[in-house]
Amino acid sequence: MIVAPSILSADFSRLGEEIKKVAEAGADWIHIDVMDGNFVPNITIGSCVVRSIRKDVDLPFDVHLMIEKPEKHFMYFVDAGADFITVHVEATKSLYRLVKEISKHCKVGVALNPATPLCSIENIIDEIDLLLIMTVEPGFGGQKFIESMVKKVEKAKEMIGRRKIYLSVDGGVNDKNAPLLKKAGANVLVAGSYIFCSKSYEEAIKKLKI
């Protein structure tokens, strides 16, 4: 299981330190939530922050763009050091072109909001490296996991079949639902509040690495 702490729940006044701390505690990737106040209500991190934390760790940067018109902005994040760029299918009118463009520069992921069906990506599945199933409505950390999404993860796994695509889950992930998600086929768990609000990052990460 790949564990990707979402830095949205980190202490932003000590971001570099927090990232080093989760890396030492066993994180595999760093998940970076970029929000624009349009696609989602919240505004978070821009590419200059990504660039400045790039020097703090060597782990892959998993950049989750929750922004409108990702085609206009993704290159800034590539240049800032993203290893994965994940875009929402709901945020662009030309998903195929966008996915092909991103894949020229780094690994590419697509994300689905809870209400968006899996069939929306069936025609581009051969072009992606990662599929991100949202298990909360995107926009904020610390929300409650939507239980019915476990079935969606299971169906996504079936759809992926033998393809080499990461199946990632994001939103309300904790030690209670991690075993269900693993059984359903997830191989990347994104977790924000569960890790950053815990007393020991190491213990929390260990409990997700099942």
Task: Give contact residues for ligand DX5 (rule: CB under 6 A).
Answer: 6, 8-9, 31, 33, 64, 136, 138-139, 141-143, 170-173, 190-194
User: Which tokens hold the place of 193?
Assistant: 């509040």
DSSP secondary structure of 152-188: HHHHHHHHHTTS--EEEEESS--TTTHHHHHHHT--E
**Is 58 marked active-site?**
no
| Least CB distance to ligand DX5 at residue 31 (A) | 6
191 interface partner picked from Zn ion, ligand DX5, none, CB below 5 to 8 A per type: ligand DX5
Structural contact between residues 31 and 3, judged by C-beta atoms closer than 8 angstroms: no
| Least CB distance to ligand DX5 at residue 173 (A) | 5
Structural contact between residues 205 and 19, judged by C-beta atoms closer than 8 angstroms: no
Catalytic residue among 56, 126, 170, 175: 170
Question: Which residue's CB comes closest to ligand DX5?
Answer: 192
Between 143 and 187, name the residue whose CB sits nearer to ligand DX5. Answer: 143
- Rounded CA-CA distance 77/48 in Å is 9
Cα→Cα distances 42→30, 67, 139, Å: 20, 10, 6
Nearest CA-CA partner of 57 in 10, 99, 104:
10
Catalytic residue among 33, 36, 62, 129: 33
Between 33 and 129, name the residue whose CB sits nearer to Zn ion. Answer: 33
| Least CB distance to ligand DX5 at residue 43 (A) | 12
109 interface partner picked from Zn ion, ligand DX5, none, CB below 5 to 8 A per type: none
Residue that is written with structure tokens 């299971």 in the block: 154
157 interface partner picked from ligand DX5, Zn ion, none, CB below 5 to 8 A per type: none
**Is 33 marked active-site?**
yes
H-only helix segments in the chain: 15-24, 47-54, 70-80, 95-103, 149-160, 178-184, 193-196, 201-208
| Least CB distance to ligand DX5 at residue 182 (A) | 16
Question: Which residue's CB comes closest to Zn ion?
Answer: 64
Q: Give catalytic residue positions.
A: 33, 170
